[in-house]
Chain A
Amino acid sequence: MAAQKNMVKISKRLDASNVAEFKTEALSVLEQTPVGIIVNFSNTLFIDSAGLGSLVSILKTAAQSNKKLALVCLSPQVSQIFELTKLYRIFDIYDSLEKAEKIMNG
């Protein structure tokens, strides 16, 4: 996982074995940015329910402080998992980083 300013990039898998690390990093990035956080899935091929749970938790924290959470560059595999769990309904999902950055910058 690599962080830059307002973005966290997830590794190949986000699952119960690395979710704690991701959540800590994402929450710390969220705290430091005024507008919100972008989570980049461009390298990610798998996410389990623990990973999804952490995203729901980050979304709630963001909403409490009126910040945004944008998910970008979902692979077909990750999209399939969001569709299966119907979680695509609650997240702001963008197919490119540029679009998400535009939203973040207002």
Chain B
Amino acid sequence: MELGEQRRICVSSSFENVRKIADFCLKACRKYFTPKELLEIELAVVEAANNIVEHAYKCIEGKPIEFSISCEQDSIKFSLINTGIAFTPPPQDEIPEMDWEKIEDIPEHGRGLFMIYSSMDEVAFFQDGNTNILLMVKKLPVPLKDNSDYYPFISSQTAGSNMTKKEMQTAVNLYRNFLPAKAPDMEGLSLFSKTEPALLVGGDHLAFLKTDDNTLWFMICDVMGKGMAAAFFSMLSHMAFKSVLFLKQKISPGEVLTLANKIMANDFDRFGMFMTAFMGKINLEEDMLSYASAGHCPPILYTKENDVELLDTQDFMMGVDEVTDYRTYSRSFLKGMKLMAYTDGITDITGPTGEMAGIEPLLYACSHEFKIKGIEDACEKIFEEALIVSGKQLQDDISMIGVERH
């Protein structure tokens, strides 16, 4: 992670997923802190996320927890967002001292807040509508220098001066043609895909791949950042995924991510890049959906019985650690079921007052639209609404992929 950069992960509420947040957090900021400081950061983040699972969501699993980390000149900022029960904790100086006299008087609970306050330099709580935000700041031992020319070959200035308009146009055309203009025809499935880059090109990438009449692969990925640099790396990932799928016939989505990550991690990591990805496979003969996620926003599954739910079982993002095992999950995918995957450009849209949309409006829109419309019309409507809310200039690439069984 470099100066000015922000990294995010969204997981569903469970104590197991708190470990994923901790892992994500440490990998992002490990080069800036001493081991002692890293342990303090891990403690504060784990305690804060545990509190969300236990108190904000009352241990109900499947609710969203968003964690983001951003790198500033003299500090790293960590924020945890939830939509559960709001809790405004007492300020640090009002936390009662523990009585150490008798063992039976020493409490078993209630240390978490003390640990958060003692480990971070600043701690603040906010509420925005039904969103609860915890912001924690840890000062850097050594302030950072501005190294915005860290990637000279991909800075916009270089692109503007050295690349002729025509070459730029060629790059844009190439990028756009890699994206699926039209989803493949498959009996029994309706498909939707759409992407809108914030700049001319972007780091979001979608693909469908029909390997036989009964098998459809689909993927959606989001490379860090936007513009040409992100597009460049998304093309790299496209070829890695495709190679793995062509070389190995019988393979699960988790194995595809594991192998593709092994191929790409070193090249991504050298430039401080990373990506999230969701890969799905539908087997029509067996009525099965199998999938794997590399830190990607949880897709939304609609069934008549359960309305909407999040498919939230993420492993670590790609491009950081070449030895990462991605797990495959399977569930039945029956007539009437709809699945929508998207990139965080949608949940990160900020309204006129600066608040982030988050996942709630998207869940609401899916619940409403999927009941009354087919996947194509429903996704188109939600996508258009997202574009309207975000205004003329997109802040991030927005992409969506939809699959319906009929």
Query: A77 contacts the other chain (Cβ, under 8 Å)?
Result: yes
Q: Which residues of B contact A53 (CB under 8 A)?
A: 107-109, 111
Q: How many residues of B contact A (CB 8 A)?
A: 30
Q: Cβ of A49 and Cβ of B47 under 8 Å apart?
A: yes
A57 neighbours in B (Cβ, 8 Å): 108
Is A2's beta carbon under 8 Å from chain B? no
B47 adjacent to A17 (CB under 8 Å): no
Contacts of B142 in A (CB 8 A): none
Q: In the complex, which residues of chain B have a beta carbon less than 8 angstroms from the beta carbon of A48?
A: 43, 46-47, 50, 112, 115
**B53 and A16 contacting across the interface, CB-CB below 8 Å:** yes
Once A17-B16, A84-B119 are accepted as A-B contacts, the answer to whether A52 and B111 lie under 8 Å apart by CB is: yes
Q: Are B111 and A85 in contact (CB under 8 A)?
A: yes
Q: Which residues of B contact A85 (CB under 8 A)?
A: 111, 114-115
Q: Is the CB of B18 within 8 A of A49?
A: no
Q: Is the CB of A17 within 8 A of B112?
A: no
Cβ of B248 < 8 Å from any Cβ of A? no
A83 CB to nearest chain B CB (Å): 11
Residues on B with C-beta less than 8 A from A63 are: 103-104
Cβ of B322 within 8 Å of any chain A Cβ, yes or no, is no
Ranked 6 nearest A-B pairs via Cβ: A17-B15, A49-B111, A16-B15, A53-B108, A49-B112, A56-B108
Point out the residues of chain B lying under 8 angstroms from A50, CB to CB. 50
B23-44 CB contacts (< 8 Å) to partner A: 35-36, 39-40, 42-43
Q: What residue in chain B is nearest A77 (Cβ atoms)?
A: B39
Q: Is the interface of A mostly helix, strand, loop or mixed?
A: helix
Interface status of A7 (Cβ within 8 A of chain B): no
- 1/0 contact string of A78-94 vs chain B (CB within 8 Å): 00110011100110000
Partner of B103 from A15, A16, A49, A59 at Cβ < 8 Å: A59
Which chain A positions have C-beta within 8 A of B35?
76-77
Shortest CB distance B92–A (Å): 14
Interface residues of B in 72-95 (CB under 8 A from A): none
With both chains docked as a complex, state the minimum distance between the C-beta of A99 and any C-beta of chain B, in angstroms.
Answer: 22
The reply to whether B19 and A15 form a contact with Cβ atoms under 8 Å apart is: yes
A interface residues, tally (CB under 8 Å) = 25
> Which residues on B sit within 8 Å (CB–CB) of A9?
none
User: Is B100 on the interface with A (CB-CB < 8 A)?
Assistant: yes
Partner of A80, one of B36, B104, B109: B36
Check if B330 is an interface residue, CB within 8 A of chain A.
no
Is the Cβ of B19 less than 8 Å from the Cβ of A13?
yes
Query: Told that A53-B108, A60-B103 touch, could you supply 19 new A-B pairs with CB distance under 8 A?
Result: A15-B15, A15-B50, A16-B53, A46-B39, A46-B46, A48-B46, A48-B115, A54-B108, A56-B107, A60-B104, A63-B103, A63-B104, A80-B36, A84-B119, A85-B111, A85-B115, A86-B98, A89-B100, A90-B106
A13-52 vs B, Cβ < 8 Å mask (1 yes, 0 no): 1011100000000000000000000000000001011101
Q: Which chain B residues border A16 with CB–CB below 8 Å?
A: 15, 18, 50, 53-54
In the complex, whether B118 has a CB less than 8 A from a CB of chain A is yes
**Chain A residues in the interface with B (C-beta under 8 A):** 13, 15-17, 46, 48-50, 52-54, 56-57, 59-60, 63, 76-77, 80-81, 84-86, 89-90
In whole Å, how far is A87's beta carbon from the nearest beta carbon of chain B? Answer: 8
Complex CA distance for A45 and B46, rounded to whole angstroms: 14
Q: Is the CB of B47 within 8 A of A90?
A: no
Complex: how many Å from CA A49 to CA B45?
Answer: 12
Judge whether B18 and A15 touch: CB under 8 Å. Answer: yes
Bound-complex Cα distance A76 to B70 (A): 28
Report whether A84 and B16 are in contact in the complex, using a CB–CB cutoff of 8 Å. Answer: no
* A-B residue pairs in contact (CB < 8 Å), sample of 30: A13-B19, A15-B18, A15-B19, A15-B46, A15-B50, A16-B53, A17-B16, A46-B39, A48-B43, A48-B46, A48-B112, A49-B50, A50-B50, A53-B107, A53-B109, A54-B108, A60-B104, A60-B106, A60-B108, A63-B104, A76-B35, A77-B39, A80-B36, A84-B115, A84-B118, A84-B119, A85-B114, A86-B98, A90-B100, A90-B103
Q: Which of B39, B47, B107, B108 has the largest count of A CB atoms less than 10 A from its CB?
A: B108
Chain B residues 112-142 with CB under 8 Å of chain A are 112, 114-115, 118-119
Q: In the complex, what distance in Å separates the CA atom of A77 from the CA atom of B22? A: 15
Q: Determine the chain A residues whose CB is within 8 A of the CB of B40 once the complex forms.
A: 84
- Measured in the bound complex, the distance between the Cα atoms of B53 and A90 in whole Å is 29
Q: Chain B: which residue is nearest A48 at the CB level?
A: B46
Q: How far is the CA of A12 from the CA of B46 in the complex (A)?
A: 15
Residues of A within 8 Å of B19, CB to CB, are: 13, 15, 17
With A16-B18, A48-B50, A56-B107 known as contacts, the answer to whether A80 contacts B39 (CB < 8 A) is yes
Residues on A with C-beta less than 8 A from B14 are: 17
Is there an interface contact between B106 and A56, defined as CB atoms closer than 8 Å? yes
